[in-house]
Amino acid sequence: MKRRVGGDRGHLNNHQAAGLVAELGWQGLQHLVLAHLSQKNNLPERARQCFVDTLGCDPAWLQLADQASGLDWRHIA
């Protein structure tokens, strides 16, 4: 499983995901939710900090979905 996840067709790491969001353009988004984080191989604050460093955004703007409890409702205007 580690080979599959870490391979070319596996999950994105924090840096890859943040880079993709940066390339796609995030400035017009109302919300950005970091989700599907590995419970064994990642930490929510590590993922958040990677996005903050890559995007230069306010850490409070990024939301983290928890695998156990999900995410609170968001208002989309």
Is the pTM higher than 0.75? yes
Q: pLDDT (tens digit, 9 = 90+) per residue, 41-57?
A: 899 999 999 999 999 99
Phi, psi of 21 (to 5 degrees): -60, -40
Q: Which residues contact 35 (CB under 8 A, 6 or more apart)?
A: 64, 65, 71
Contact at 8 Å (CB) between 62 and 51?
yes
pLDDT of residue 69: 87
List pLDDT tens digits, range 17-45: 999 999 999 999 999 999 989 888 899 99
